[in-house]
């Protein structure tokens, strides 16, 4: 992707209260939209309750994918709304069954975290979806960016 930052169209998937949505417009001059199951408190003018057939250069999801009851369906939905090429960047805690047990604070429906992701599981989904490049932050699988052609 060889575009200037101010030309890139970004979707904040699961934008929550809209903090990133609002600040990315007002402070950074980015072309950012947000979507969520409820409208945000700030950045409402850039909220998209329905994406229709709109596509984006980058889709972000910060602390969202662990809340999904059918994650693969949503990953495919996100992929369908990416331009070609496009990047899906997300953050969630990595489930490591060798070091984490059922007492892990992140686990459980009481906090809405119903889907957990291991390094191997995310690798499988990336490959199955046809990703062409993947970047991990400090080799941590819980923060990734996937490139699709």
Q: Which residues contact 126 (CB under 8 A, 6 or more apart)?
A: 134, 144, 146
pTM, 2 dp? 0.92
Q: Which domains does the chain have, with CATH numbers?
A: 5-148 (3.40.50.150)
Q: Which residue has the tokens 């062409």?
A: 132
Phi, psi values for residue 19, rounded to 5°: -60, -50
What are 33-87's pLDDT values in tens digits? 999 999 999 999 999 999 999 999 999 999 999 999 999 999 999 999 999 999 9
Reference 81, options 12, 27, 31, 2; nearest CA is 12
Q: What does each C-alpha distance from 111 to 41, 64, 104, 107 come to in angstroms?
A: 21, 12, 12, 8
């Amino acid at each position: 992707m060889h575009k200037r930052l101010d030309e890139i169209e970004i979707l904040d998937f699961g934008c929550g209260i809209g903090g990133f949505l609002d600040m990315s417009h007002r402070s950074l001059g980015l072309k950012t939209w947000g979507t969520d199951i409820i409208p945000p408190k700030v950045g409402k003018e850039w909220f998209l309750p329905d994406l229709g057939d709109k596509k984006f250069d980058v889709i972000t999801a910060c602390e969202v994918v662990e809340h999904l009851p059918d994650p693969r369906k949503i990953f495919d939905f996100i992929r369908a709304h990416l331009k070609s090429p496009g990047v899906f960047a997300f953050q969630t805690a990595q489930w490591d069954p060798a070091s984490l047990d059922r007492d892990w604070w992140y686990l459980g429906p009481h906090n809405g975290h119903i889907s957990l992701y291991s390094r191997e599981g995310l690798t499988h989904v990336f490959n199955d979806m046809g990703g062409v490049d993947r970047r991990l932050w400090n080799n941590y699988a819980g923060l990734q960016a996937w490139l699709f052609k």
